[in-house]
């Protein structure tokens, strides 16, 4: 049996080392490979085919055709042929819509639609991992772009090798390695011409900025920036955990989230900022440094009350010894219920929020408490699910109770003011069961049990 070319052996060894050292797989997972047909993802496909026996993987290939340029259909056909040649099942789908989602850029729209597709396919086949082919070069480009256009310590951590069900097994490989791998196996990857378009910031950084810095200052720039990302990501994870342990946000009875002012004041200044930023993020707001500092200054002042305008639907204010971040009350009314994409993401403009849903056959390591996230038995709900406001007379059975309760009475017990009750989203199934009073509790009838096979 002839030995494979060195370029092939080197990339396989790099990916194997990344998987083992970064703990990306336990072994035996059903894994979805996101393959565009370019050099990186094509190399990943063939590397995984070689490593599958060692890790006992059950592989499935997925390709999403955005239909945004000529030749995209040929890319899809190419990926399907590559999967078939390796004896792997593949799901290939073309986008039904090409226009951007209102309020989202074309790039964000493409990413959201691709992720929704991947999550749907993963749920359909029971995959617990989705592998993407981001390389060390992608990592360096991401970190430099964020550095140039503004970010914080978390953003400088770059692309996370393992995040939820997404894994990046190529993150320690260089793009030159994937190109050499494909050449050694006489593979002919598809080339996306938009990767050369200088209208995109990333392309300028990839094709002009990094080559200039490498030729004039540091030939090992990509490796240096990637190492920086690893260090900052580890430190951010530690400091984030420290902030949460010292000042964990809690639901505010009147809506939104809150932190005790005294708990924030006791923290060192850097951890104060992290606690405040996380409080914002719980309410779906990414705070800038100026906003964070303005709120911090309010907290450490001697003022018993006050507020900071966040320039949007949210406000930050001191209230009865707490820093509260919440939406201002909306005018009375009953907007049309919004149907949730399952799986996928759904904008909820009435509440200034976005919902993300997915279904898994794997029991979560820990069950959320039903405030910002929840887990229910997918077999106990009737699809589709919708989000709507509270209506007088609504009832549900709060988790742990054997009888139904009026939601109005439940709000009274939870100290939710009447002016804020319309701001609480309710997730309702097609049979009328109120599955989740968001921010508070799920219905006992939809909780998971030892017989649950699909977790929503």
Encode pLDDT of 154-176 as tens digits.
Answer: 889 999 999 888 999 999 999 99
Can you tell me the distance from the alpha carbon of 79 to that of 62, in angstroms, rounded to the nearest whole number? 9
Give the mean pLDDT of 73-82.
Answer: 95
pLDDT level of residue 297 (50, 70, 90 thresholds): very high
pLDDT at 1 over 50: no
Tokens 């390695």 -> residue: 177
Give the mean pLDDT of 122-132.
Answer: 95
First to last CA, the chain: 48
Q: Which of 101, 79, 99 is nearest to 90 (CA)?
A: 79
Tokens 């968001």 -> residue: 438
What is the structure's pLDDT at 419?
Answer: 60
Contact yes or no for 91/64 (Cβ under 8 A): no
3-class secondary structure for 75-93?
HHHHHHHHHHHCCCCEEEE
What is the structure's pLDDT at 332?
Answer: 42
Can you tell me the distance from the alpha carbon of 39 to that of 180, in angstroms, rounded to the nearest whole number? 9
pLDDT at 210 over 80: yes
Give the lowest-confidence range in 86-100, 174-188, 326-340, 436-450.
Answer: 326-340
- For residue 64 the two structure tokens come to 């999403």
pLDDT at 328 over 70: no
Concatenated DSSP letters of 354-401: EEEE--BSSPPSS---SSS----BGGGS-SSPEEE---TT-EE-BTT-
Contact yes or no for 74/190 (Cβ under 8 A): yes
Q: Of all helices (H) and strands (E), which one includes residue 325?
A: strand 322-327
Q: Of all helices (H) and strands (E), which one includes residue 239?
A: helix 221-246
Encode pLDDT of 26-60 as tens digits.
Answer: 999 999 999 999 999 999 999 999 999 999 999 99
Q: Interior CA angle at 50 toward 44 and 55, to 5°?
A: 95
pLDDT level of residue 326 (50, 70, 90 thresholds): confident
How far CA 281 is from CA of 88, 115, 277, 417, in Å, comes to 40, 21, 6, 23
Q: What percent of the chain has pLDDT above 90?
A: 66
Give the lowest-confidence range in 11-25, 59-73, 100-114, 228-242.
Answer: 100-114
What is the structure's pLDDT at 123?
Answer: 92
Q: What percent of the chain has pLDDT above 70?
A: 96
The answer to whether the pTM exceeds 0.85 is no
């Amino acid at each position: 049996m002839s030995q494979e070319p060195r370029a092939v052996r080197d990339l396989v060894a790099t990916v194997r080392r990344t998987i083992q050292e970064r703990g990306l797989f336990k072994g035996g997972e059903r894994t979805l490979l996101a393959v565009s047909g370019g050099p990186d993802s094509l190399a990943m496909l063939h590397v995984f085919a070689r490593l599958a026996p060692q890790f006992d993987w059950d592989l499935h290939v997925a390709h999403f055709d955005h239909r945004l340029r000529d030749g995209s259909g040929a890319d899809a056909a190419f990926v399907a042929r590559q999967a078939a040649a390796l004896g792997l099942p593949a799901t290939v789908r073309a986008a039904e819509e090409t226009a951007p989602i209102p309020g989202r850029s074309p790039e964000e729209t493409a990413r959201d639609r691709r992720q929704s597709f991947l999550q749907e396919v993963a749920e359909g086949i029971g995959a617990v991992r989705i592998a993407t082919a981001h390389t060390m070069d992608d990592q360096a480009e991401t970190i430099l772009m964020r550095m140039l256009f503004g970010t914080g310590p978390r953003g400088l951590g770059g692309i996370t090798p393992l995040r939820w069900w997404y894994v990046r097994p190529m993150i320690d490989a260089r793009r030159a390695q994937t190109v050499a791998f494909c050449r050694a196996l006489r593979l002919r990857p598809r080339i996306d011409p938009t990767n050369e378009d200088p209208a995109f910031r990333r392309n300028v950084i990839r094709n002009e900025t990094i080559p200039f810095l490498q030729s004039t200052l540091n030939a090992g720039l990509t490796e240096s920036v990637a190492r920086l990302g690893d260090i900052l990501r580890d430190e951010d994870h530690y400091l984030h955990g420290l902030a949460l342990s010292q000042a964990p946000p809690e639901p505010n009875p009147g809506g939104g989230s809150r932190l005790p002012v005294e708990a924030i004041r006791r923290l060192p200044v850097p951890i104060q900022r992290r606690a405040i930023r996380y409080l914002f993020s719980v309410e779906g707001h990414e705070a800038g440094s100026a906003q964070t500092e303005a709120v911090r200054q309010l907290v450490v002042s001697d003022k018993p009350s006050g507020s900071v305008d966040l320039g949007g639907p949210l406000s930050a204010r001191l209230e009865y010894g707490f820093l509260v971040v919440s939406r201002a009350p909306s005018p009375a009314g009953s907007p049309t219920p919004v149907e949730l994409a399952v799986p996928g993401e759904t904008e909820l403009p009435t509440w200034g929020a976005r919902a993300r849903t997915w279904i898994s056959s794997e029991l979560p390591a820990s069950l959320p408490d039903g405030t910002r996230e929840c887990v229910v038995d997918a077999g106990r709900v009737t699809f589709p699910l919708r989000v709507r406001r509270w209506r007088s007379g609504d009832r549900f059975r709060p988790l742990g109770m054997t009888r139904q309760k009026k939601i109005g009475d439940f709000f009274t017990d939870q100290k939710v003011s009447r002016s804020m009750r319309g701001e609480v989203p309710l997730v309702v199934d097609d049979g009328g069961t109120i599955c989740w009073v968001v921010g508070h509790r799920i219905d006992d009838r939809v909780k998971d049990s030892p017989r649950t096979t699909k977790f929503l």
